[in-house]
Structure 1
Amino acid sequence: MPGVPSYRGCDACRKQKKKCDMATPACSRCSRLKIACVGCGQLRYKFKDQTDLQVVRSSKKARSRASPQFETESDSPGSIVSIASSRDSARSGAFISLLDITDPSYDLRCYGPWFKDLPRRLGTNEALDAAVEAMVGFYPHLRRHEQSSLSRGSLVKYVNALQALRTCLNDPQKASKAETLCAVYILLICQGWTGKDNDQKVSHGEGLAFLLTAAESGQSSDQFHETIRDTLYVPVILEAIFNPRIRLGSWFLRFKDRAFGPPAPITHGAQKMMSLELKSLARIPDLIREPAKYIDDISNSYQRMRIEIPLLKASLHLADALASKSPTSGSIKTRIQYQVSFGLLVGCALIFNGYLRAFGADDGNMVEEADNMANDAIKLAHDASQYRPLGASFVPLCLIPAWTATDDIGIQQRVVEALMFYQDDFSPATSRGWYIMSYWLRGEMDRIRSGLGPSPVEDYSERQWGTIMLDEVGNMVCGDDVSDWFYSSD
């Protein structure tokens, strides 16, 4: 559970237990010692792990002190209901505590504004209840950068959430419920934080794609359900780009002209970014699965991105200036929205750039454009780093294509350095996935250059991912060795 210590001095004074005068730009002590003054005035959160059983016990003790008669009624039906109610209250209270955190680095609402509506839905779906408990259990580890040493209690909650989800998915009445979709999405987020997949044969992204397809076949008048689906389209589409086992159903063809990211560009006269419309994003997986068939569509999409990237980049510069001049919660939120949109647009453009060059369709400018966009991705990673981990969790999605598309060894090394910097925000398994996806994407482009075309679907399994061979723990097999990170450029 989070608490809020009152001390707001800088980190250096806090570590030495000294009183900080909180002067700006540096406190007196840091100025005197000529050391960096970091964290002055910052609100710090402190987390204490508390299990549901501890909550129930403490509540029971409180009731016993207030009225001794409860001791003789502990086995009554009313007592059982009370314990269940206490557990529900503890779950809701813990989750609400996390939603109260507005620091963009740890704000759960970055995953969807509807997160604030989840507490009122707790207690109606066992999969959602268990998924929320798993997220609450993992969150302190995310905050303390301890994903590699997760507590036994948090892992047990995650396993329980997977079991509860399976139960709901086996129930036709619950499988397509909005709460079940939420549960899958929350576990997808937890998997990204920790890399834990419990040896699943099917990823949560694949499961979401299946559920969204099933949900589209039915009619729902629930606005919450519609909002959930609109949010979940994006992570499914993004995972489908890197996971050929995900096949988007016919539902994406019915997308309206909805765009991902901010509602409108900041710059005057800027056009709507057609490349960020959901129907445009949803086409990308199919385009790169059959690039020879859709080479003209890839070329047309890339030409449009060439026009849109400078426009969105100008809007991002204005958002940066506004957030720097007046760092309000609104201006910071807008800046992050533009960073995410720009990162996504650049990442997609880099993929198309690499595929077009693999087909020999370079018009003479694409090598330079790939280098420039890769440098843009590196700069974006640097600028967004102040909002790590959650507010900058999108960054690897543009760094992976940057490493793949550029042929400049120096730029590649800087991309790897940026990925290494972001490694600490996620589990080793998650960062290993970045590495595998980078080499997989380059391998697919190499197959196209050699005239073989993309890897067939049957080449994707537990021990193989396209051109990449994996060992039993998921590391990449490189001749007689295995590797879980990028090769040195030496």
Structure 2
Amino acid sequence: MPGVPTGKGCDGCRAQKKKCDEAKPSCSRCARLGLFCIGAGQQRYKFKEKTVFEFECRNGARAKSSHDFVPTVILPCPNSAMDILTSSFVDTISPSTDFRYNLVWMYGGFLEDVPARIGRNSALDAAVEAVVVAHADFCSFRPIQISFLLKYSRALESLRKMLDDPLKARSSETLCSAMMLLICQGLVGACEGLWTGHCEGAAQILKARGPRDAQDDFENKLLLSLRGPVLFEGIFNNRIEFQLSEWNELVLNHLDGQMPEDRLMRRLAQIPEYMHRARTRWPQSAIPDLQLLNEMRSSYEILSAEAQDARQRYALVQKRIDQKASPASLIVQAHAYLQRLYGLCLTVCLLFSSVLAAVEPSYEVILRLETANFAREIVLLCQDATRYRPLASSYVALFLYAAWLGTAEHSIKTSVESQLAEHRLTWSNGTDQVFPVPYLQFLSQRIRHQVLQRGQRLQEA
């Protein structure tokens, strides 16, 4: 009784015997009627007995003997748990998915290589299951479901077991499972405490593994996506601590050596090293390290020039964008990409200026006008980014955090707080999250005072 592929219409359209346009994540009929769209674009299989005689008769041929028939080729149906999981994940990352809901567009091309690795590592398999459920709930605008919590807990337990095995802990699949759990947290909008936890875990795995395999394209693609979260959190979270060579190992990647994002990540990776140099010098001397300040100012000026270049490219596309254009059009996707790139440039500039002001307070006054302009640009950019909600604008919170940290202008901070509150309401899916303002105050204190605080601890020791 073989499985025969049938239509890809959603459950609602099939029940009403209506034609479904199979759009994802919601077909046009369900979207119009405000219904949850379940199963749109997903391949189904109908199980029925098919005889060779029936096949021949349908094609106008007369059966003579069983020896005259050519066996029909029937597409195989999923026949194991791994096949079903692989099929579900392939459907989840399908290129046909609207980029506003598309995981590959948001989190990186390494996801396209994950299906080939399902079945090799139990932690990765469990994490993939959790991502599939989280993405389905996310696209249907459902709050966190029990089914997701169970799969997420199972994935955490599987990852812990993998980390207990030194050999498996160093595999790229185990590292990938940490990234997949980070994606889950992003989709459900839930994070316990101030840090994700999975960035710390990924950093520990990276530190234990040592140098990566430069010939492993999957690992290189994975690090392209993982380096950003680890770097941004590493600036504030002192439990993520690498040597300069280890930061460089994380950010240097031959797959995008000349891309703007790569240049930004290289500059961002300098911040932990600059902070380390500043706080180790402080107990011995109250005189600023002029060489350090010159290096930081030079890096900041390079970043500022990068931001201006990104702004020009973004402005060119902004003039051509049509508010009614389809999300599937290339101009819309180019606009979304350049918007994200420009926002990332501004974010790195503002973080750099905050660290520069923490090392030498006079720079807060020197850069005040420029950083205020950067923060205003982020506010305007994030207002425009609402058109790409939900997933393709999920970076908005990071950009707004940087805008709040990087300016002393009260009016800008108020605008940022308002946008963060709105973003939190639309993103949280009914879960409780850290309230933005106290969290921002904590991050500001973390950057501006950790040099002094850690210097005092070193002096006391």
| TM-score with structure 2 setting the length | 0.73
Structure 1 equivalent of residue 337 of structure 2 = 337
Q: Is the 8 A contact 2:193 2:434 kept in 1?
A: no
Structure 1 equivalent of residue 362 of structure 2 = 361
1:416, distance to aligned residue in structure 2 (A):
1.1
Amino acid at match of 2:274: L
Deviation readout 1:17-50 (Å, 9 max, x if unpaired): xxxxxxxxxxxxxxxxxxxxxxxxxxx982369x
Q: Is the 8 A contact 1:194 1:426 kept in 2?
A: yes
- More deviation in 165-174 or 292-301? 292-301
Q: CA distance change for structure 1 residues 252 and 351 in 2, over 3 Å: closer, same or farther?
A: closer
Q: CA distance change for structure 1 residues 206 and 280 in 2, over 3 Å: closer, same or farther?
A: same
1:102 aligns with 2:103: no
Amino acid at match of 1:188: L
Q: CA distance change for structure 1 residues 10 and 188 in 2, over 3 Å: closer, same or farther?
A: closer
Distance 2:98 2:457 in 1: 42
Structure 1 equivalent of residue 24 of structure 2 = none
1:315, distance to aligned residue in structure 2 (A):
1.1
Unaligned 5+ segments in structure 2 are 1-7, 14-19, 22-26, 51-76, 282-291
Deviation readout 1:71-121 (Å, 9 max, x if unpaired): xxxxxxxxxxxx994322221222122112431211010211121221222
1:133 aligns with 2:129: yes
Structure with the bigger RCO (C-alpha within 8 Å, sep 6+) is 2
Give secondary structure in 2 for the equivalent of 1:362. helix
Structure 2 equivalent of residue 47 of structure 1 = 38
1:240 aligns with 2:240: no
Deviation readout 1:318-370 (Å, 9 max, x if unpaired): 23334449765433333333222222221122223334445332385522222
Distance 1:368 1:218 in 2: 42
Structure 2 equivalent of residue 121 of structure 1 = 117
Structure 1 equivalent of residue 56 of structure 2 = none
- More deviation in 387-396 or 280-289? 280-289
Deviation readout 1:34-69 (Å, 9 max, x if unpaired): xxxxxxxxxx982369xxxxxxxx99x959x99xxx
Distance 1:280 1:201 in 2: 22
Give secondary structure in 2 for the equivalent of 1:432. coil
Distance 1:386 1:433 in 2: 24
Structure 2 equivalent of residue 443 of structure 1 = 445
- More deviation in 310-319 or 182-191? 310-319
Q: CA distance change for structure 1 residues 211 and 296 in 2, over 3 Å: closer, same or farther?
A: same
Q: CA distance change for structure 1 residues 340 and 218 in 2, over 3 Å: closer, same or farther?
A: closer
Structure 2 equivalent of residue 302 of structure 1 = 300
1:399, distance to aligned residue in structure 2 (A):
0.7
How do 1:248-259 and structure 2 match up within 5 A? 248-249=242-243, 250-254=245-249
Q: Is the 8 A contact 1:2 1:47 kept in 2?
A: no
How do 1:393-432 and structure 2 match up within 5 A? 393-423=394-424, 424-426=426-428, 431-432=433-434
Distance 2:294 2:355 in 1: 12
- More deviation in 365-374 or 245-254? 245-254
1:230 aligns with 2:228: no
1:299, distance to aligned residue in structure 2 (A):
2.2
Count of matched residue pairs: 394
Q: CA distance change for structure 1 residues 320 and 238 in 2, over 3 Å: closer, same or farther?
A: same
Amino acid at match of 1:160: R
Distance 2:272 2:430 in 1: 26
Structure 2 equivalent of residue 142 of structure 1 = 138
How do 1:130-279 and structure 2 match up within 5 A? 130-146=126-142, 149-196=143-190, 203-217=197-211, 219=213, 221-249=215-243, 250-254=245-249, 275-276=263-264, 278-279=265-266
Q: Is the 8 A contact 2:30 2:36 kept in 1?
A: no
Distance 2:312 2:89 in 1: 38
Distance 1:331 1:217 in 2: 39
Amino acid at match of 2:228: V
| TM-score with structure 1 setting the length | 0.69
Tell me the C-alpha RMSD between the 2 structures: 4.0
Deviation readout 1:251-297 (Å, 9 max, x if unpaired): 33347865998966xxxxxxx68851x33221223334554654433
Q: Is the 8 A contact 1:305 1:349 kept in 2?
A: yes
Q: Is the 8 A contact 1:339 1:380 kept in 2?
A: yes
Of 306, 310, 313 in structure 2, the residue corresponding to residue 312 of structure 1 is 310
How do 1:365-404 and structure 2 match up within 5 A? 365-404=366-405
Q: CA distance change for structure 1 residues 425 and 291 in 2, over 3 Å: closer, same or farther?
A: farther
Q: CA distance change for structure 1 residues 242 and 324 in 2, over 3 Å: closer, same or farther?
A: farther
Distance 1:104 1:131 in 2: 22
- More deviation in 437-446 or 391-400? 437-446
Amino acid at match of 2:82: D
Amino acid at match of 1:330: L
Structure 2 equivalent of residue 476 of structure 1 = none
Amino acid at match of 2:132: V
Unaligned 5+ segments in structure 1 are 16-43, 50-57, 67-82, 265-271, 459-490
- More deviation in 355-364 or 393-402? 355-364
Deviation readout 1:114-144 (Å, 9 max, x if unpaired): 2122122211211111001111111133223
1:214, distance to aligned residue in structure 2 (A):
2.9
1:316, distance to aligned residue in structure 2 (A):
1.2
Deviation readout 1:188-231 (Å, 9 max, x if unpaired): 11123335568999811011112223333364643222322333
1:162, distance to aligned residue in structure 2 (A):
0.7
Distance 1:433 1:185 in 2: 25
Give secondary structure in 1 for the equivalent of 2:111. helix
Distance 1:273 1:8 in 2: 36
Q: CA distance change for structure 1 residues 404 and 332 in 2, over 3 Å: closer, same or farther?
A: same
- More deviation in 280-289 or 97-106? 280-289
Amino acid at match of 1:366: L
Distance 2:30 2:179 in 1: 37
